[in-house]
Structure formats: structure tokens, C-alpha cells
Amino acid sequence: MTTTTKKSAPEAAEAEVRVRDLRVHYRINGSEYPAVANASLDLRRGEITGLVGESGSGKSTLALSLMNAVPEPGRIAGGAIHVDGIGDVTTLGAKTMRTVRGSALGYVFQASQNSMNPLKTIGKQILDLGRSHDVKDLPGLLARAKQIAERMGLDGNRVLDSYQHELSGGMRQRLGIVFALVLNAKVLILDEPTTALDVLSQSAVLKIIRQVHDENNLSTLIVTHDMGVVSELADNLAVMYGGRIVEHGPTLDLLRNPTHPYTKALIGATARIVGDPAAARALPGRPPDLTTIPRTGCVFRDRCVFKMDICAEDEPQLAEHSAGHRRACHADAAVVGSTTSKGDAS
């Protein structure tokens, strides 16, 4: 995949979004199960944060929580999500949140075509969005949507007059970004932005995300299972497993020096363009689902080659390993980082 230019994040950038001790539960057959457990994360202005992990790790649930939009039977069970200029979104009512979504917080869904109305043109849907947020200058809103679309390499007039089925997957993904930003949102959340796109479309979308992010000084969160995406785009990386953030820090630091066994295994499972293709190896076992996540101890222990007796009894807490780099693991960081396994790619 063609690389994008990743800028250096500003030092001590101010956080636009502060997630603290977030807990999200799903009620199944009368019992509650944690999909996100005590997650804390900052989204800083001018920085792109990658949230990575296997399917079922809690990534999309955390992202939807930022919009206070966890679907039933899920609910935010505790913690806070503070957005600058808005407050704690977990305490806001439905009417207020409808205003916040799209205006302060922009969300691009994984299957962008599923968030579009197949019976209306893109332009009419932009107008509907404007009316739902009491925008007075609707022609001006259309002009802004056209301008954003054209800066993404699209024919503004054509796409605004088109129905979603008349557009390619890459075009729909770009239009998802148009919908997310047309009301001047300062926080952009993208859920698997390159899923189901061919390599060329992926490269184009990633380049556009970086360009739009830089031009608008956004706080951007990218949810993905693809280490290749975050390695090209993200300034910071948070790794999730079993509803927990198990490692968090500057992207290059984590990729070059992973200190959590799960992060190391994910990197080892990533295919490389060069080197021995057989070096990439899938993680052993399967990730837990909501009903099988361990309630005590480390959630990754059943798949971990470094597990110890304490891992079954005491859940490790996310703690500072080095400047800006945190990990939640009982194993010695130096041992995890220095161990070379068959799954490590060269």
C-alpha cells in the first residue's frame, strides 16, 4: 500500500476528548457482560489515534460510546466521556445528543452505504442533515459539501446529484467523511475506513483522511483491525483486547518496541510485502466473546506464551512503561520485547 505522509504530533497537544474509566455492558439473558472495561483514552487536537484489535475486542463499542450511541441491549454503565465545549456526553439527553452528533462529533461508519438513504440523492440527504441541526443557510451547506467533496477528488455536482448505488465503494467512503465534516465537526471518528476497498482506493482514502485531518486540525480516531493502516496514518496507537486497552503510546514506539504480548502477536501476524511470507503467523486460539471474557485476572492469559500464576488471579492495570507509553501486563516488558517467536515477521 502506498504510504501517506504522517506529520509529527505537536507536543503537549490539548485533548479534545477525554475518556475516563469507561464501562459498557450488554444485557444478555438477564445477565450483564462487559464489552468495554475501565477504558481511558485521550483524543488530542491535531493527532490521529488508532484503535486496533481483533473483531470482538470492543473497538466499535468504545467508538459508538463517544457518540452516546451504544445500541440496545448495551448501555454505558460507568465512567465519563468529556468533549470540549460540550461536557460529559454520557449525561446528555437524546435531544441534545442529536445536535452534538454531526456538529461536534463526526462519525464515518464501517459500511458507509448503510448510513445513506437509497431513496434520496446525496444532496437531499445533506439538506436533511442541515435541517435536523437547524442550519439556516441550506444553499451554503450544499456549497460546503460540494467543496469538501471536490477537495477529495470527487466531482461535487455529480455526487450530490447521485444516489448511493450509483457510486463506487471508495466514493461512498469519501462521502461518509463529507457527511461527518460538513457541519464543522472537530472530532472525526472512522470505523474501519478501508474495509472492502481495493488497494488503490484504500491508499486514496488514507491520503484524504490525513489531508482533511491536517487542514482542519481535527482530533481523529481510526478504528481498525489492520496494523498496516495505523502504521501509515496514526500518531498514537491504542491496542484493545477483551474490552480492555492493553497497550497505548506513540505508534512508532509500539510498532518497534511492543511490550504487551498481544501487541507483539498482532504485529507478528501482519503480512509483509518483503521477506518470508511464512513468517507472518496467526495468533493461536480465538478471542473471547462477551460471555467468555474472564471476570478475574488477565483477559489475554489463555493465548499468552508469557502467562504466569498471577495472571489468573490479578488483572494487570494500564501503567506507565516509558514516557507516553503504557501497558497492562504482569510479564517483564524487556522479556516480552526481546523474545523472538516464530510469529514475528522480519
Domains and CATH numbers, the chain: 15-104+185-346 (3.40.50.300)
User: What is the sign of the dihedral through the CA atoms of 169, 105, 153 and 10?
Assistant: negative
> How confident is the model at residue 281, as a pLDDT?
72
> How confident is the model at residue 2, as a pLDDT?
45
3-state helix vs strand vs coil in the chain, percent to 5:
35, 25, 40
> How confident is the model at residue 273, as a pLDDT?
56
> What is the Cα–Cα distance from 318 to 246, expressed in whole angstroms?
7
Cβ-proximal residues to 159 (8 Å cutoff; 6+ apart), any chain: 122, 149, 167, 171, 175
Which of these, 49, 191, 36, lies nearest to 115 by C-alpha position? 191
> What is the Cα–Cα distance from 88 to 190, expressed in whole angstroms?
21
> How confident is the model at residue 343, as a pLDDT?
40
Helix or strand (DSSP H, E) at 251: helix 251-256
CB 259, CB 324: distance < 8 Å: no
> How confident is the model at residue 346, as a pLDDT?
34
Residues of the chain under the 50 pLDDT cut: 1-3, 8-11, 341-346
User: How far from 227 is each of 53, 54, 152, 189, 267, CA to CA, in Å?
Assistant: 9, 11, 24, 17, 7
φ and ψ at residue 70, rounded to 5 degrees: -65, 125
> What is the Cα–Cα distance from 172 to 187, expressed in whole angstroms?
20
| Interval 190-232: pLDDT, tens | 998 877 777 777 788 888 889 889 988 999 999 998 888 888 8
CB 330, CB 311: distance < 8 Å: yes
Query: Which pTM was predicted?
Result: 0.88
